[in-house]
């Protein structure tokens, strides 16, 4: 039920931004883009601060950080491999990749940049985003815990504002929802993300001597760290629950670094898979910025489908045990 409510709220903010364009209440597209960048940096800083300012998170990182980091890397690597396999299976050719995305965001020729310069630009974008998160985390560590301040609520409202502007920018782009959902990879992306993430977790089982089901449940949160860790802890394994929390937290952080780079490939929708469940909310604005406005419907749909599957897949896989 929480998943459905969350999707409805996020949809409302996206739709609200789009309606502003319809009724001509929106600022020019260039101003909207500036608002998105400012709100995105604010969101990343608050998220970093929230992590650094939480003593419980810091203690978890000290004990089981290696398992969490390995699970995050394995799930992301599995996602990328599965999506590439999915494209091969569909038999898609280069012209089926969103042309607007390749031209406006991922094609150096579109702006006159050389491939090396374009890659360097995206790397700088990744480092900038990482530095904003790190800056927020450092501020959170050096400052005492903020009593009486609901950082989760602040993060939520910044995110809602961000998605409002994303909906506005999508409407300003004039791209059709129908055209996006006619693409065969729109459904393939979330399916491949789920399969690749879970298989990535399975690969960790012999390395960390975990039951196969437990290892797969670690990565079946698809980046939704606020739910997956709680689910596993409530199933009777608080240590593994903490590892799941970190695994999905780290995956979200990795997504912010890799999305700008994946958006430059011949398969820019890899960036949607990297976002996992967060492709419908936290990483959606970055995906839209790097891939293009036409990626918004596919990204939101992918994140929503994955989010709805988390409450089912995590307990199911954990229950498989060995």
Q: What is the pLDDT along the chain (322 residues), one digit of tens a residue?
A: 455 676 677 778 888 988 998 888 889 988 988 888 888 788 778 877 877 777 766 666 666 778 888 999 999 999 999 999 999 888 754 554 444 444 444 443 334 444 444 445 555 766 777 788 788 888 988 988 877 777 777 877 887 887 788 888 878 877 666 666 667 778 899 999 999 999 999 999 999 899 999 999 999 999 887 677 777 877 777 778 778 888 888 888 889 889 999 998 889 999 999 999 889 888 888 898 888 888 888 898 898 888 888 888 888 898 886 5
Structure pTM? 0.74
Q: DSSP labels for 251-301?
A: HHHHHHHHHHHHTTSS-TTHHHHHHGGGGGTTSHHHHHHHH-GGGHHHHHH
According to the model, what pLDDT value does residue 82 have?
Answer: 96
| Torsion of the alpha carbons at 7, 49, 197 and 8, rounded to the nearest 10 | 0
Distances (CA, A) of 165 to 76, 123, 131, 204, 241: 28, 25, 23, 39, 35
Provide the CA 230 distance to its chain's centre, in angstroms: 19
**Helix ranges restricted to H, the chain:** 2-22, 29-52, 55-90, 99-101, 108-111, 115-142, 151-173, 177-181, 185-208, 212-219, 225-234, 238-262, 270-275, 284-291, 296-320
According to the model, what pLDDT value does residue 59 have?
Answer: 63
Q: DSSP labels for 40-75?
A: HHHHHHHHHHHHHT-HHHHHHHHHHHHHHHHHHHHH
Closest C-alpha to 217, from 244, 194, 193? 244
Residue 93 DSSP code: -
Tokens of residue 5, six digits: 């409510």
According to the model, what pLDDT value does residue 3 have?
Answer: 52
- d(C-alpha 165, C-alpha 39), whole Å: 9
């Amino acid at each position: 039920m929480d998943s459905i409510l969350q999707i409805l709220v996020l949809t409302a903010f996206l739709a609200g931004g789009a309606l502003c364009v319809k009724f001509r209440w929106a600022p020019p597209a260039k101003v909207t883009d500036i608002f998105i960048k400012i709100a995105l940096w604010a969101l990343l800083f608050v998220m970093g601060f929230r992590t650094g300012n939480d003593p419980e998170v810091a203690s978890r990182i000290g004990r089981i950080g290696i398992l969490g980091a390995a699970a995050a890397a394995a799930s992301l690597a599995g996602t990328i491999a599965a999506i590439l396999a999915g494209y091969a299976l569909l038999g898609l050719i280069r012209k089926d990749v969103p042309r607007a995305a390749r031209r406006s965001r991922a094609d150096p020729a579109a702006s006159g940049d050389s491939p090396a310069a374009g890659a360097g630009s995206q790397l700088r974008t990744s480092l900038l985003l990482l530095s904003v998160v790190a800056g927020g985390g450092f501020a959170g560590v050096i400052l005492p815990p903020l009593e009486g301040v609901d950082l989760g609520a602040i993060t939520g409202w910044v995110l809602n504002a961000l998605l409002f502007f994303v909906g506005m920018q999508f409407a300003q782009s004039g791209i059709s929802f129908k055209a996006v959902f006619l693409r065969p990879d729109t459904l393939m992306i979330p399916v491949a993300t789920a399969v690749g993430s879970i298989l990535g977790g399975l690969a960790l089982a012999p390395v960390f001597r975990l039951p196969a089901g437990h290892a797969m449940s670690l990565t079946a949160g698809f980046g939704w760290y606020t739910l997956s860790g709680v689910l596993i802890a409530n199933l009777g394994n608080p240590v593994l629950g903490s590892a799941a929390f970190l695994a999905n937290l780290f995956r979200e952080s990795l997504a912010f670094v890799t999305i700008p780079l994946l958006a430059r490939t011949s398969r820019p929708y890899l960036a949607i898979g990297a976002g996992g469940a967060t492709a419908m909310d936290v990483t959606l604005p970055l995906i839209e910025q790097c891939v293009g406005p036409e990626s918004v419907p596919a990204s939101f749909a992918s994140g929503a489908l994955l989010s709805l599957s988390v409450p089912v897949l995590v307990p199911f896989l954990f229950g498989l045990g060995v």
